Structure 1
Amino acid sequence: VVDGRTGFLLESGGPEAWKNKITEIYQWSTDERTGFVRNSQKVVETYYSWKRVHDATIQEYLRALERKSA
C-alpha cells in the first residue's frame, strides 16, 4: 500500500482514525476519487492479476521440482 495513492495506512487509533480518514475521503473531488481508484486498480492488475498469480505459482512448482531432482 502506498499511503494516499493505492490505499491508506492508519495509526492504531481505533474508530477515531477510521472516522477521520472516511471524512477526509468524503471531501475529495471527483478527480481525486477517480485518480485514487485508477492508481489502486493499476496496482491490482499489475501485481495481483490471475495471470500473474498463475505464472508465479507455476514457477514455484518448477523450482520445487528442480530442488527435488537435485
Structure 2
Amino acid sequence: MAQKIVGLKELRENIQTYIAQIKKGNSFTVVRRSRPIFTISPPDQETGQWEPVIDFTKMKKGGVKIEELLSRL
C-alpha cells in the first residue's frame, strides 16, 4: 500500500478515523507546514517488533498498578 500524507491538524482533529485506518494496515506521513515530521504505521506482526511480554490482568483483575509493579523491581 502507498503511504498517504496527512496534515498534523487533520490528524489531531480526526484521530479515531486514522487509528481505524492504521489498524487496517494503512500508513501515513504526517506533515506540518508542508514538511514531513513523522510516519505512523501499524506494528509489523511478522518481524515481531511488538509482542506482549506478560498479561498483568491474569495476575489481578483490572491489571496491576504501576506503583505496585515498580516496588517489586
TM-score (norm 2): 0.21
Which structure carries more helix by proportion?
Answer: 1
Higher RCO, Cα 8 Å, sep 6+:
1
Structure number with larger C-alpha Rg: 1
Which structure carries more strand by proportion?
Answer: 2
